[in-house]
């Protein structure tokens, strides 16, 4: 039943913050609670298999062969289910060398002997043989909560034979899941017909010689299989068990223990269901009363009512909004406010002057605490609506959920309601049935349902924020939430609203330049091949390169052989074929063309590009940028840098300033590892790679060659990513032996770095997570996977997460400091972009020096490490010109 639940419920929706999947536990518990409530049993027991091995595999080694490996995510849930059963006061049994069904068969037989009536809930059809007047099978139809009752009559109706003959039928038909082949060509219909006609399998076997036709011959040919199946599918009814029937009496469930367990599993609805349905069987502390439902008194605004409503608020107000929001702007359709069981709904475009004034005052008042779901889009809308200031945002449920579970893909309100409150969110289409509507005639008003749904959303946001606050506190992440992520949303909103000025003419120029080169490369390639083809199609390229031109095969991909730039380069080195040059040139220039085309299309009417920074996408804590992504604008090639020249200073400002951390991740590594050699290299070294190379190769810094430095640089950077010896050798173009030797020498000199990297992974395996210097967590359930590839990927991610994540923490802290300082110092300069370790700012006239020292100060003091946080800055008319 647990296994069925595992496949019936989506794992993504049932897992705890720390990555423990709970879908099987949840489904099993849910089914069990239903059963306990509906059937009111006097005695209950749950049987488990011990292992796949049993007396059946001894007789027939291929028994259950062909089943895949039991998924790791399922295995880890079994001990939890046993814990759950303990908390529920329900006995659970196992028996070495036997299967769970044998235990069930034994208990059913004993119950029958004692005159009890027995219910079996099992997803294994073998249990059908146990059905009789005193024994009923509840067999899952769909998922695990819908069960079909099999009495002897039901069995006969469905299978055409009585339960005591079911084994005969199963032996003939076979059981694919157990790897027990039956008689080919004989299905349940023929089998039932034979059994009815000859009374039993024994009767049938006696007359096997007389059976006509193909089916008869088939039976004769496979008689041994059938007899084997029949022996194996017999459940054992007389096992010796540790517990007799008296020990299985169900006395009730422990309130304290189930609360503790459900809390740990982050189940909310189940505890309430236990309370509501099985209160009379609760043991221990009085059951917690059923929690207040989402009933909210929702009122649509009557003119002048907003001021009164807001004046009546004493605590934190939860705010839900609807509307259209994109690229640093937006407009509201509705806003709903909820506080203490009452809610107010309004269309902000319809406010009268008095309401609008009190609304704007309330928004700007930092003492009026607000919680929202996605503050950033709200801030865009507020800016577009002309509400000058929004202060007092005490929590954002999207960001809270991200800190608790940074790998999650969606933080939609409905998902969070399920995750944190254990309930579905009411919508206009499926309203909560107990909702009450005040101030509106709910009866036939279409809008009423919407009002109520929005009010319920606001109320849910408040509740979610409360649950999150508790969990964040347990993890000591209140500071990370309240002093970093929540206030950072406002900083990002300002950056997005401002945008960065684009030089459309410049973009247009280089776009046509790239387009011409792209066309030329395409034409040349067609010429060389002697016909036209789609140069952008890897599939067609493969045909041409590997079939027609018979070039050596490259590394495999899922769909064939790679044609990526690395591979094309290597092919060119081997073959010198002129086509490869054109392909590489095409790829290069076409990519640049596409980037410019996209950038042009995102320039808004204000002549600026307004990206969106996502704060909840990267599991490490970094930001991401979309629509367009301004964190991956080319910089490495000269042609690429021409694109950066199109991001320019706007009128009213004197220049752009770029300012970045130098080698921040290596510095963090030096600090976290405490490696004296590396720290020393940073404290004194002008050129860190040269300093490290000098130590590794035991030469004076002045004698370090370019080749030494290049190798060390690759090695140093690779460390933080878990680069393997093989990977290092590939990157440096040397043998693995040489890469191994380099690695050995490196670690001989910087031993603490290796110790640290091992320690991080070890620790993560123990606790399940890694932590950054500011307490941001990332969980790694895959570290214990049986699959080597999966496990090793998790190991690399785990050793990178604290380094990349700490760098993200530091930059976020710096951005908050810069934002605060700009405002208190009254500078007009502003931050436009963040590119992980770099900020791009727009410098107001005469502010260059003050801005630089202010930002430098904030960036270098954002954290105290064992090494200095070095920052470098440059100024110019464009992003390219401001490079340094």
Partner DNA sequence: GGAGGAACGTA
Partner DNA sequence: CGTACGTTCCTCCA
**Shortest Cβ distance from residue 862 to DNA (Å)?**
15
Count of chain residues binding DNA (CB under 7 A): 62
CA distance 752 to 441: 71
Using the contact rule CB under 7 A, the part of the chain among 54-62, 68-76, 493-501, 716-724 near DNA is 716-724
- Under the binding rule (CB under 7 A), the answer on residue 285 touching DNA is no
**Angle of helix 688-696 versus helix 676-684 axis, rounded to 10:** 140
- Under the binding rule (CB under 7 A), the answer on residue 740 touching DNA is no
Site string for DNA, 80-119 (x = CB under 7 A): ----------------------------------------
Residue 443's CB: how many other CB atoms inside 10 A? Answer: 7
Return the number of the residue (493 or 720) whose C-beta is nearest DNA. Answer: 720
Task: Name 174's bridge partners.
Answer: 181
- Under the binding rule (CB under 7 A), the answer on residue 570 touching DNA is no
- Under the binding rule (CB under 7 A), the answer on residue 566 touching DNA is yes
SS (H, E, C) 517-574: HHHHHHHHHHHHHCCCCCCCCHHHHHHHHHHHCCCCCCCEECCEECCCHHHHHHHHHH
Judged by CB under 7 A, the residue of 245, 428, 490, 617 near DNA is 617
Of residues 664, 639, 650, 700, the one with CA closest to residue 837: 664
Return the number of the residue (335 or 811) whose C-beta is nearest DNA. Answer: 811
CA distance 849 to 847: 6
- Under the binding rule (CB under 7 A), the answer on residue 785 touching DNA is no
Among positions 786-815, residues that touch DNA (CB under 7 A) are 789, 793, 796-797, 800-801, 804
- Under the binding rule (CB under 7 A), the answer on residue 427 touching DNA is no
Return the number of the residue (237 or 641) whose C-beta is nearest DNA. Answer: 641
Instruction: For residue 175, give every residue at least 6 positions away whose Cβ sits within 8 Å of its Cβ, in sequence order, or none.
Output: 125, 182, 229, 233
Rounded to 5 degrees, what angle do the CA atoms 302, 428, 435 make? 70
- Under the binding rule (CB under 7 A), the answer on residue 562 touching DNA is yes
CA distance 80 to 73: 12
Return the number of the residue (43 or 524) whose C-beta is nearest DNA. Answer: 524
- Under the binding rule (CB under 7 A), the answer on residue 722 touching DNA is yes
Using the contact rule CB under 7 A, the part of the chain among 163-171, 239-247, 341-349, 612-620 near DNA is 612-620
- Under the binding rule (CB under 7 A), the answer on residue 713 touching DNA is no
Return the number of the residue (633 or 678) whose C-beta is nearest DNA. Answer: 633
SS (H, E, C) 691-710: HHHHHHCCCCHHHCCHHHHH
Task: Name 345's bridge partners.
Answer: 300, 336
Using the contact rule CB under 7 A, the part of the chain among 16-24, 613-621, 737-745, 845-853 near DNA is 613-621
- Structural contact between residues 341 and 455, judged by C-beta atoms closer than 8 angstroms: no
- Under the binding rule (CB under 7 A), the answer on residue 626 touching DNA is yes
- Structural contact between residues 47 and 103, judged by C-beta atoms closer than 8 angstroms: yes
Judged by CB under 7 A, the residue of 376, 587, 689, 711 near DNA is 587
Cα dihedral sign, 824-827-831-836: negative
- Under the binding rule (CB under 7 A), the answer on residue 200 touching DNA is no
Instruction: For residue 759, give every residue at least 6 positions away whose Cβ sits within 8 Å of its Cβ, in sequence order, or none.
Output: none
Among positions 531-560, residues that touch DNA (CB under 7 A) are 534, 536-540, 557-560
Judged by CB under 7 A, the residue of 450, 563, 663, 813 near DNA is 563
Using the contact rule CB under 7 A, the part of the chain among 1-9, 45-53, 571-579, 721-729 near DNA is 721-729
Question: In the Cβ-directed half-sphere of 348, how many Cα atoms lie within 13 Å?
Answer: 25
Among positions 814-873, residues that touch DNA (CB under 7 A) are 835-838
Judged by CB under 7 A, the residue of 730, 740, 785, 870 near DNA is 730
Using the contact rule CB under 7 A, the part of the chain among 241-249, 287-295, 474-482, 628-636 near DNA is 628-636
**Shortest Cβ distance from residue 603 to DNA (Å)?**
13
- Structural contact between residues 507 and 336, judged by C-beta atoms closer than 8 angstroms: no
Could you say which DSSP state residue 114 is in?
T
Return the number of the residue (563 or 813) whose C-beta is nearest DNA. Answer: 563
- Under the binding rule (CB under 7 A), the answer on residue 782 touching DNA is no
CA distance 157 to 798: 57
Could you say which DSSP state residue 132 is in?
B
CA distance 184 to 189: 13
Using the contact rule CB under 7 A, the part of the chain among 312-320, 328-336, 451-459, 584-592 near DNA is 584-592
Task: Give how far Cα 534 sits from Cα of 511, 529, 549, 596, Å.
Answer: 21, 12, 16, 22
Q: Which tokens belong to 214?
A: 């193909």
Return the number of the residue (316 or 327) whose C-beta is nearest DNA. Answer: 327
CA distance 634 to 642: 9
Interface with DNA (CB under 7 A):
534, 536-540, 557-560, 562-566, 568, 587-588, 591, 594, 598, 614, 617-620, 622, 624-629, 631-637, 640, 717-718, 721-724, 726-727, 730-731, 789, 793, 796-797, 800-801, 804, 835-838
């Amino acid at each position: 039943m647990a296994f069925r639940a595992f496949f019936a419920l989506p794992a993504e929706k049932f897992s705890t913050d720390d990555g423990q999947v709970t879908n099987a536990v949840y489904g099993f518990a849910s089914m069990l609670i239903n059963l306990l409530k509906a059937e009111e049993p006097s005695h209950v027991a749950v049987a488990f298999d011990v292992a796949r091995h049993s007396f059946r595999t001894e007789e027939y080694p291929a028994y259950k062969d062909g089943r895949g490996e039991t998924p790791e995510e399922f295995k880890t849930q079994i001990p939890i289910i046993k814990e759950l059963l303990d908390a529920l006061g329900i006995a659970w049994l196992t028996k070495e060398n036997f299967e769970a069904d044998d235990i069930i068969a034994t208990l059913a037989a004993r119950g029958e002997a004692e005159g009890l009536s027995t219910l079996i809930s099992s997803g294994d059809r073998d249990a059908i043989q146990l059905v009789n007047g005193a024994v009923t099978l509840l067999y899952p139809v769909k998922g695990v909560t819908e069960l079909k009752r099999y009495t002897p009559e039901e069995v006969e109706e469905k299978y055409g034979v009585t339960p005591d003959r079911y084994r005969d039928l199963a032996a003939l038909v076979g059981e694919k899941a157990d790897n027990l082949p039956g008689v080919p060509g004989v299905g349940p219909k023929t089998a039932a017909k034979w059994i009815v006609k000859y009374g039993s399998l024994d009767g049938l076997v006696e007359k096997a010689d007389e059976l006509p036709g193909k089916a008869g011959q088939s039976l004769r040919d496979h008689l041994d299989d059938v007899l084997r199946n029949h022996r194996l599918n017999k459940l054992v009814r007389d096992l010796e068990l540790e517990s007799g029937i008296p020990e299985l009496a169900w006395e009730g469930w422990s309130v304290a223990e189930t609360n503790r367990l459900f809390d740990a599993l982050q189940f909310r609805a189940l505890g309430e269901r236990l309370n509501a349905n099985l209160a009379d069987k609760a043991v221990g502390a009085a059951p917690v009363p059923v929690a207040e439902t989402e009933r909210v008194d929702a009122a649509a605004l009557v003119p002048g009512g907003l001021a009164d409503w807001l004046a009546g608020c004493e605590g934190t107000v939860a705010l839900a909004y609807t509307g259209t929001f994109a690229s640093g702007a937006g407009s509201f359709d509705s806003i709903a406010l909820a506080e203490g069981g009452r809610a107010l709904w309004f269309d902000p475009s319809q406010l009268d002057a008095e309401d609008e004034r009190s609304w704007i005052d309330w928004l700007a008042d930092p003492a009026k605490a607000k919680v929202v779901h996605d503050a950033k889009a709200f801030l865009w809308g507020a800016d577009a609506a002309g509400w000058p200031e929004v202060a007092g945002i005490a929590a954002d449920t999207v960001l809270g959920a991200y800190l608790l579970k940074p790998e999650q893909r969606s933080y939609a309100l409905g998902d969070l309601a399920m995750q944190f409150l254990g309930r579905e969110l009411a919508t206009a289409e499926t309203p909560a049935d107990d909702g009450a509507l005040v101030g509106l005639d709910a009866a036939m008003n279409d809008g009423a349902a919407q009002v109520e749904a929005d009010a319920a959303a606001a109320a849910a946001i408040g509740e979610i924020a409360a649950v999150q606050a508790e969990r964040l506190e347990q993890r000591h992440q209140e500071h990370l939430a309240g002093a970093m992520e929540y206030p950072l949303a406002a900083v990002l909103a300002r950056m997005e609203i401002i945008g960065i000025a684009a030089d459309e003419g410049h973009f247009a120029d280089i776009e046509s330049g790239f387009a011409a080169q792209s066309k030329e490369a395409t034409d040349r390639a067609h010429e060389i091949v002697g016909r036209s083809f789609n140069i952008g199609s890897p599939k067609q390229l493969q045909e041409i390169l590997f079939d027609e031109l018979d070039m050596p095969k490259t590394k495999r991909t899922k769909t064939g052989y790679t044609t990526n730039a690395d591979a094309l380069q290597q092919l060119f080195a081997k073959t010198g074929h002129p086509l490869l040059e054109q392909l590489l040139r095409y790829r290069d220039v076409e990519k640049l063309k596409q980037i410019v085309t996209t950038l042009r299309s995102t320039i808004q009417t204000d002549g600026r590009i307004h990206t969106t920074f996502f704060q909840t996408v990267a599991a490490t804590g970094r930001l991401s940028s979309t629509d367009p992504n301004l964190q991956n604008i080319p910089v490495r090639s000269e042609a690429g840098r021409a694109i950066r020249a199109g991001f320019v200073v706007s009128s009213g400002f004197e220049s752009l300033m770029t300012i970045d951390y130098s080698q921040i991740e290596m510095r963090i590594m030096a600090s976290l590892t405490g490696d004296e050699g590396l720290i020393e290299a940073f404290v004194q070294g002008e050129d860190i790679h040269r300093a490290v190379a000098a130590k590794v190769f035991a030469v004076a810094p002045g004698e370090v060659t370019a080749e030494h430095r290049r190798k060390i640089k690759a090695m140093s950077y690779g460390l933080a990513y878990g680069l393997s010896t093989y990977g290092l050798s590939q990157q440096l173009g040397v043998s693995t032996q040489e890469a191994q030797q380099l690695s050995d020498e490196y670690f001989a000199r910087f031993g603490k770095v290796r110790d640290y990297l091992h320690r991080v992974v070890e620790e993560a395996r123990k606790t399940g997570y890694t932590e950054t210097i500011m307490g941001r967590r990332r969980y790694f359930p895959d570290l214990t996977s049986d699959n080597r590839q999966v496990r090793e990927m998790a190991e690399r991610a785990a050793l990178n997460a604290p380094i990349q994540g700490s760098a993200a923490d530091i930059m976020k802290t710096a951005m908050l400091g810069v934002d605060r300082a700009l405002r208190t110092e009254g500078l007009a300069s502003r931050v436009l972009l963040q590119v992980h370790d770099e900020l791009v700012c727009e410098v107001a006239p005469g502010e260059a020096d003050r801005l630089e020292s202010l930002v430098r100060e904030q960036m270098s003091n954002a954290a105290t490490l064992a090494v200095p946080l070095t920052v470098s800055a440059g100024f110019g008319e464009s992003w390219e010109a401001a490079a340094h």
